[in-house]
């Protein structure tokens, strides 16, 4: 039976900008990979100026779904929407919208995810750390829900209506916003005589950025092109001048050929550091 991997994200496009090459890597090696997206991204902005027009904005919920389907096909993964409504990114101090994901009771959202985990029976679950990877309320909520679901899915007394218990064996947090990654690519571009826009990012490094020390590095440079195509499939989010595309890919493959994770929970013996999310797991 094939090993199974589940990545739990907040919005359509998160799966393609955070850990996408890992998903494509495992899918290409016969792993059953599923992305679970907690919300539909309905309140996301149109970040591609070429598409920021009334017709597109009026159809944004449907477009985000079709973009997600295309990205999943490119990555070679299955996909599920969990069915909650995007919270948007309110101004500081402003209330969250009624009925949005971040205002749900965590147990309500966790029960839906538990049902998906028990149905698909992943061995490994990947999601965000406590910070959410960045301070969007849906990302923070996704962390809370994914951790609760990981812990509860194997407990027959928890959420009994969500199906027969299944315990995933490992839970990982994405190291998706790494100062060391930015510094390494910035220095590499300057050394190669390539203009770098990462200097200002480093000069104004945000206080909220998590400082995670990776335990697990997945070599997946062969799938950076697939990652990029998946992100471009989210056309309303992927502006042609998006910083995601600013550095030479050959330089990235040479300087940082991995995507990185922190092992947060393990039901099997783990020998760190790792180069495989399934290390220590046997069927």
Tokens 């042609």, residue located:
240
- Beta strand pairing status for 32-39 and 170-174? unpaired
14 is in an annotated binding site: yes
CA distance 107 to 210: 25
DSSP summary character for residue 156: T
Give the residue carrying structure tokens 């200002």: 200
Closest C-alpha among 8, 16, 23, 14 to residue 44? 14
The continuous run of DSSP H or E covering 118 comes out as helix 106-120
Q: Is 234 annotated as belonging to a binding site?
A: no
10 Å CB burial of residue 114 (0-12, 13-18, 19+) is buried
For 258, list phi and psi in degrees, rounded to 5.
-125, 165
User: What is the Cα gyration radius of the chain?
Assistant: 19
CA-wise closest residue to 68 among 113, 110, 38: 38
Q: Whose CA is closest to 31, among 67, 91, 63, 78?
A: 78
Tell me the C-alpha distance between 40 and 31, whole Å.
Answer: 26
CB atoms within 10 A of CB 256: 18
Residue 123 among known ligand-binding residues: no
Known binding residues for Zn(2+) are: 11, 14, 139
Known binding residues are: 11, 14, 139
């Amino acid at each position: 039976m094939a090993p199974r991997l589940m990545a739990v994200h907040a919005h359509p496009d998160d799966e393609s900008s955070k850990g996408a090459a890992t998903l494509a890597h495992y899918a290409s090696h016969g792993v059953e990979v599923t992305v679970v997206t907690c919300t539909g991204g309905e309140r996301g902005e149109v970040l591609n100026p070429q598409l920021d027009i009334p017709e597109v904005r009026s159809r944004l919920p449907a477009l985000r779904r079709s973009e997600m389907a295309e990205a999943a096909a490119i990555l070679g993964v299955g996909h599920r929407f969990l069915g909650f409504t995007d919270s948007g990114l309110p101004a500081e101090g402003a209330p969250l919208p009624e009925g949005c994901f971040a205002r749900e009771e965590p147990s309500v959202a966790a029960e839906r995810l538990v049902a998906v985990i028990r149905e698909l029976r992943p061995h490994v679950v990947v999601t965000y750390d406590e910070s959410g990877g960045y301070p969007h309320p849906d990302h923070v909520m996704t962390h809370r829900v994914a951790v609760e679901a990981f812990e509860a899915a194997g407990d027959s007394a928890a959420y009994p209506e969500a199906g027969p218990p299944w315990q995933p064996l490992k839970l990982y947090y994405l190291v998706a916003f790494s100062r060391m990654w930015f510094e390494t690519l910035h220095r590499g571009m300057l050394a190669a005589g390539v203009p770098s826009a990462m200097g200002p990012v480093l000069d104004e490094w945000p206080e909220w950025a998590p400082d995670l020390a990776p335990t697990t590095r997945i070599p997946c440079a062969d799938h950076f092109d697939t990652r990029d195509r998946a992100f471009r499939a989210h056309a309303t989010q992927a502006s042609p001048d998006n910083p995601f595309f600013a550095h030479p890919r050959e330089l990235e493959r040479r300087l940082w050929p991995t995507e990185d994770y922190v092992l947060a929970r393990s039901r099997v013996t783990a020998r760190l550091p790792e180069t495989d999310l399934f290390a220590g797991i046997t069927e």
